[in-house]
Structure 1
Amino acid sequence: MTGATGVGSMPGDTQHAYAEAVRAVLGELGASGLPYLPEVPGRGAPAGMTGRALAVVSELGADLQPAGWRLTGNDGSGADHRRARSLLAQDLDGLEEQTQGYEGALKIQVTGPWTLATTVEKPRGDKVLSDRGARRELAQALAEGLREHVRDVRRRVPGVRRLVVQVDEPALSAVLAGSVPTASGFHRHRSVDLPEASATLAWVLEAVDGAGAEPWVHTCAAGTPLRLLRGAGARGLSVDLDLMSAADHDELAEALESGESVVLGVLPATDPADPPTDAAVTERVLRWLEMLGLDPATTGDSLLLSPACGLAGASTAWSRRALALVRAAAGHLSD
């Protein structure tokens, strides 16, 4: 049975907007899809991708500088880092309240180690990406923090039968290509070799798997090597269908045939001028499956549909409609 889900973020800039996002996700996806813990980054840096991940990271302090997030070494957490942790706890409280009696699947999201290394600075400046030891330390702290985070989510939502942790890596392709700018903006950080990229990501994915959850990786950037993600331990791939190369299509087909999960991003993340119908979305996915030589009846629950990326930049109306569209299209594919 083809399912439906979303990448993670939702529009809004208040705690009330977060509560509404939870209701929307559970209402549209809770019956037969894969609902998720929403992210509402419009509430500020502590609620953004980096702040959210630093709230999960174990035993590392951080603070927010004019240039962005910076690790603080042994100096403890700054006020914004404490706020990020408090906000995550509040969001989990809200999820717990709205999932009383819920039984089924659930997805949570976290920024991956390589994207985090491009958005966080070392205590004395420059990106964590610039220092091999620093990026190892940050990745391992993220892995340890995720173990506790998974345990916390399971405690709060005991009816979860299948827990997915989606690791977001939109910057991985830039890391591998050596195109991440330095702090000055005049130079680029050296590219990271494939074995290190895989091993570092594997620490995080293995921690998720060891905690009893399914490790998936999401990327909305062209050029991300999907084979590397699978080799590092990803049991699910979440991608933007419009950005896939011929090699990517082959890799996705192989993943489906191996029983791994594939989430196809088939709708725009912001309000389109001419929204597609659920029938049009269904037809697009059927053409894709036909191109790969796959029968939708054989993909089972390994194939899921979603918007192409997070919905934080969308209107509230489109965010709800997009989830409803992928749910309806997934239903047609399962008929």
Structure 2
Amino acid sequence: MSEADRAIREANLPASIDETMAMLEGQDYVAGRALATVLYLALKMRRPLFLEGEAGVGKTEIAKVLSTALDRPLIRLQCYEGLDVSSAVYEWNYPAQMLEIRMAEATGLDDRTAIERSIFAEKHLIRRPVLQALQSTPNRAPVFLIDELDRTDEAFEAFLLEVLSDYQVTIPEIGTIRAEEPPIVVITTNRTREIHDALKRRCLYHWVDYPAAEQELDIVHRKVPGCNAELSRQVVAYVQKLRGMDLFKNPGVAETIDWASALTELDRMALDPETVSDTLGTLLKYQDDIARIETSEGRKLLESVKAELAAGA
């Protein structure tokens, strides 16, 4: 048994692509073999997994599935414009430090070195997601989700490149903190901007696309078990056609699930023009798209869906 295979077994990770598929299946995550393969390799090679794709296709869910299936804590760094080191990595508890200084003054302590050592002790360190992800117990390294990296700026991306290269960060007052065991890193991006090649080279890459109709129907059955079979077929067929209409924002799988759930709550057994119009807000998120579907174009779309399903029945 190789060192890599031994490490996988000790860490309770899937030992093959088929086991990875079974792990995803066990968490009701519908995935193709290509995704299972790159996920298996990322776990075995201990490389970050870089997932790119449209919003709502299930990228973030992969990290959640890994956390649950592997019984690892999930640490999430939600990226946004202006994200900096103090929010992502660490910062000092300034009120506690000031209290420490005043207590030293009150007791007459004038040893500057001792005071500095006291105020910059680890008990005053506030650990943010990056630092939390680097500090873990053996075989319990967390799943570290870096979500929507494309929302940050290039400066933070460059900093992250250093972290992912050596799995360590340096705190000037304390020193270098290095992970005993690298976390399982999942990076997602909606591709609102390109991520630098230097970071991508350190990762295994996979494009998460919209699922085919059969896969999406399987997802609806798993996530909305109360939705009757005919309504599920109509919902999936309708959404699949919507994605071919060049909308401002195509509905993702998450919106398909939301729509099927909403229709189930309304006790609908099939789609009709009035129901579609009344519930479009759960499926589409831009008024221009909703207005377009509420016209005769939307009615023709529904008629087309029902005709195709009837012909294929």
Max Rg structure? 2
Structure 2 length-normalised TM: 0.30
